[in-house]
Structure 1
Amino acid sequence: MSNSKEQVQQLFQKGSEFLQGGNPADALNCFRQLQLLVAPNPTVFLYAGTALHNLGRFIEAISSYRQALELAPDTGEIHNNLGNSLMATGNFPEAAESFAAATRLLPSNPVPLTALATAQQALGKIAGAESSCRSALSLAPDFAEAHWNLALNLLLQGRYAEGWREYEWRWRRAAFTSPVRHINVQQWDGSALEGKTILLHAEQGFGDAIQFVRYVSLVAKLGGSVLLECHPELVSLFQGVEGVQTVLPFGESLPDADYQISLLSLPHILGTTVDNIPSKTPYLSPSSGHRSKWAHLLTDYRDTLRIGLIWAGKSYPDPLRSCRLSDLAPLAAVGNSTFFSLQLGPGAEQMSCKPPGMKLIDLTAEISDFSDTAALIEQLDLVISIDTATAHLAGALGKPTWLLLPYAPDWRWLLKRADSPWYPGMRLFRQETSGKWDTVINKVAMAFVQNRP
């Protein structure tokens, strides 16, 4: 291709259109060609970095942004994007520095302040994160991302009244993980339900649904008939929830309803505080058929302490919540114990390298849905887990659960507590340093010595 101004402009425009259209691979190809045709250009490096970030190639994105900054050090957008890629690699200190630089260069833009709040919260700077959110909202009162970050911050602090209110802004985020559902049905406001039908629907991940399905029985006690819509994998388990009339999977035709509301909006409507969380467990239970199946499968392990293990979760949005099976090696010293893998999906391959001396049984091939997992957990004495849906399930079943938390925990686990007001049978073991699991695991091993379950 000849290095004509018109051809360069066309290539840049094409790459920009690919990027905006959600095609980062072709966009990157265009910007790579441009880098061969023109003198180093900060905008080309910026856009190439954005394409790399969207492809999940964060280290390369960081390099591209740094090259852009060498050419244009006072460009706020580059600092902000660099911060996003640093966040994705878990480099929170440098991410915070990048976002802080972006806020100085873009003083009227709420985006860098909101991103800075995310980095500050990851660093444990809770007050600073709240301040950044409120500063962003002073610039743009209707900026949904800042409201969302503020909600997570307030809920983490246990300030539920304002936190639940802010949490309702999630539906106005540009890229929320769940779609807005059933807008043709009136949203419930807490009014009387006698003679009415209400549709409660799950959102976000399995763990969210399991944690908040506890509210179904409270709504049912207000009168009316309760329909529940959820992930297909949870339908069987949720059919036994107290107060529910019908459970249906997402995507299936639904009966008519007078009202609808998401499960995660119920704490706001019902005025949940840290002190009045409906914490009675168990509120989930498997069917008798599932119980019989798993009782039979574990017949040969009745004379040992039976412990379930989960060590890995999805890498996005929180890669630091997972550990490795090898990190749990100190638990092999627990006497007269048999460990059972509850690990499904990514991380399960680590079973091929079990910690020396650990008797670890893998029956996960027998699991077809969450009812199977629930019935297996019921046969155990204890579950040790990172922050996963299975940990929520164990808590909802009332099973003693030891939860391994990263330095920057999800909002629902609050701060500096060794217990959870959501699950009375749960004990929390928190990282003292980001990314360091050894101290956590050693505390768990010591807990066996001090208080064998």
Structure 2
Amino acid sequence: MSSAMASYSERIDELMAEGDLVGAWRLLEAHGASRPGDPGIVAAAGRLLRLRGRHAEARALLDRTLQGALDDTRVVTELAYVARDLGEREVADGWFERAYRKGTEGEQWVLDWIDLLCGLCRFDVAQRVAATYCERMPGSASGWFSLGLAYQLGKRHDLALDAYARAMRLDHALPMLRNNMAAAYIATENYHEVQSLLGDVLRDDPGNALAWTNLATMLLKRGDPTAAQVAAERACSLAPNYPVALQCCANVFSELQQWDMALHFAQRAVELEPANMSYVWSLAMLQLLRGDYAAGWLNHEARWDGSPELNGSWPNLPMPRWTGQSLSGKSVAVWSEQGNGDVLQFARFLPLVARNVRQAGGKLIFICYASLLTLMQRSLGDEVEAVIPSEQPLPETAIDYHLPLGSLPFAFGVTPDQLPAATSYLKTDHAKVGAWRSRHESDTGRLKVGLVWSGGRTHQRNPLRSVDPRVLASALGAVRGVDFVSLQIGAGSETKAMREAGMSVSDPTGELRSFDDTAALLHSLDLVITVCTSVAHLAGALGVRAWVLLDVRPHWTWMIERNDSPWYPSIRLYRQQVYGQWEPVLTQVARDLAALVVTATHQLTQKASA
């Protein structure tokens, strides 16, 4: 390109960057015709067409030029922008990568590619590209911000904060920087830094809806939902069509048990951003919690992209998903998903589905977690063709379709009053149950009560759904006529602390090797008292009497405003009435347990005198 033509090209770029599209057009009209095939001029013309919304013309022009100027970076990147604007993100990624191979790691467009990569959830690639950009352009605050964002979206929050700190030193006024840093500090539970950052943002810009949203999120995580409500409502008043703020409001009102308000905000978030599966998933949880199974099961299908625990975990199976195809002469594999409690809950649907598959001339195979394998094999018996462990490779040639276990009620349109096998659908090993009972015989006349005070320690909600074991021991330990049995795996030190608090509690968990062992132990007890965890589902599936302690925002299974469960008739529910307050719940449990001891003692006395 001649120096004059290069000057024209640069001037056109400057005018478009300044928003003077008319000036850029006039310059192109005056000088573009003299060099119609020049890649720089054509790239500028393509950009002008794109900015005017004439993407098809821009693409045609750029494609023609690319044939005569192979891999000119300006033309290639402009094709990437055309594809990006048209929503063809994978195509745009391909063009950006093609330009990147030319060794232009420090060009400004690389930042747009990083943003695109993050949108495609290709965080590892985004991080590598951004790190290289920062090496080439260490003085670019935007580069360090992009690196921080790529790390943050990839859940590498400490590295994100390091990159953001570099950006802050270069340009503390960079848009979104302090808000993003606050979100990263929330993820690392450094709430002091969050408070400081958001305080600065809101002093400078009291109308910053995102800052108010982050503040509400921080207050909620610190266990102050009433204060979070103030911040969340301020965010929504400033930005009534901002889905992030709306979803935050839904979370806050859920913790406050204002279910109508929570549903309103969740629905509004989905209306504004229906492709965001995390919003759809949150809406599904509220719909199922409220018993709206028709809508809830449909939105429950968003779990693979919307649930924080499941995001990205869809298995790479070689066979298609069953969506109603003929099963004559075919086999379908139903596979376990989510946690052990979910498998225990949804296993009730397998006999019904297996019968339907057989009637259609097909076979059903259940793929089961190894820890549940023995229990499921005995319980399902001949209902299914086979029960195989999920760790075992699938026989590809023998399976025609697959279906996730949690999708069975959606596939069959189940409502709360149509739950199959709602009493007892799992079968224990009678010999194991007898062995446990023989160990209890020396203490006849005393109730044997199993205890679980914590769910999975890594679950994001476990701090709220768990009960301090010392508080539990203090509340229940004084009830006479009870021998408590710990069912809490790996909690020897906590069980010891409960004994020191005065509770008589044994700990046989070292003998439990599988859920089959746990099931037998549960069947030998008079009662199980547990928080929301897999043991609650196991007790319910066995028909064992259980009292389940629920925090203010329970798992959808337990629904709202009732003390029984349509899923498990043997279960009684004890609900928190106020966020974080277990004492009133445990006081009621202790009172009811004492009454149960009296009833059991009276029944034994009557039996002895008969």
TM-based fold match above 0.5? yes
- Shift of the alpha carbon at 1:176? 5.2
- Which residue of structure 1 aligns with residue 470 of structure 2? 326
Query: 1:393: Cα distance to partner?
Result: 0.6
Q: Does 2:388 match 1:248? A: yes
Paired residues of 1:66 and 1:82 also in contact (CA < 8 A): no
Give the letter for the 1:203 counterpart: E
Once the two structures are superposed, the pairs formed by residues 37-436 of structure 1 within 5 Å of their partners are: 43-173=176-306, 175=308, 177=310, 179-181=313-315, 184-189=318-323, 193=327, 195-222=329-356, 223=358, 224-242=362-380, 243-255=383-395, 256-288=398-430, 290-291=432-433, 294-295=436-437, 297-298=439-440, 300-314=442-456, 316-318=459-461, 319-328=463-472, 329-345=474-490, 349-354=493-498, 356-436=501-581
Shift of 1:267: 1.2
1-side partners of 2:370 and 2:271: how far apart?
42
Q: Mean alpha-carbon deviation: is it higher for 269-278 or for 382-391?
A: 269-278
- Following the alignment from structure 2 to structure 1, what is the Cα–Cα distance between the partners of residues 378 and 426? 7
Seq. identity, %: 33
Classify the secondary structure of the residue corresponding to 2:565: coil
- Equivalent-residue separation in structure 1 for 2:320 and 2:436 (angstroms): 42
Q: Deviations over 1:39-79 (max 9, x none)?
A: 68774432322322233434543443333323333222222
Q: How many angstroms apart in 1 are the aligned matches of 2:244 and 2:250?
A: 10
Determine which structure has greater relative contact order: mean sequence separation of CA pairs < 8 Å that are 6+ residues apart, divided by chain length: 1
Structure 1 residue 330 displacement after superposition: 2.7
Q: Deviations over 1:167-191 (max 9, x none)?
A: 1222342745162235543333456
Give the conservation status (yes or no) of the 8 Å contact 1:58–1:88.
no
* CA gap 1:391/1:76 in 2 versus in 1, 3 angstroms: same
Q: For 2:192 and 2:446, how far apart are their aligned partners in 1?
A: 46
Moved more, 39-48 or 139-148: 39-48
Give, as a single letter, the amino acid of the residue that structure 2 aligns with 1:96. Answer: Q
Identify, as 1 or 2, the structure richer in helix.
2
Q: 1:16 to 1:192 in 2, by over 3 A?
A: closer
- Checking the alignment, whether the CA contact within 8 Å between 2:209 and 2:238 is kept in structure 1 is yes
User: Would the alpha carbon gap of residues 44 and 110 (structure 1) be closer, same or farther in structure 2, given more than 3 Å must change?
Assistant: closer
Contact 1:230/1:250, CA 8 A, preserved across alignment: yes
State how many pairs are aligned. Answer: 449
TM-score in terms of structure 2 length:
0.67
Question: What is the rounded CA distance, in whole Å, between the counterparts of 1:73 and 1:226 in structure 2?
Answer: 59
**1: CA distance, partners of 2:180 / 2:267:** 30
Structure 2 unaligned runs (5+)? 1-136, 601-610
- 1:262-317 deviation digits (Å, cap 9, x = unpaired): 12111122221111112433212333564455445545444421100011123533
CA RMSD of aligned residues (A): 2.8
CA shift in 2, pair 1:449/1:298, >3 Å: closer
Secondary structure at the residue paired with 2:548? strand
Larger gyration radius, structure 1 or structure 2:
2
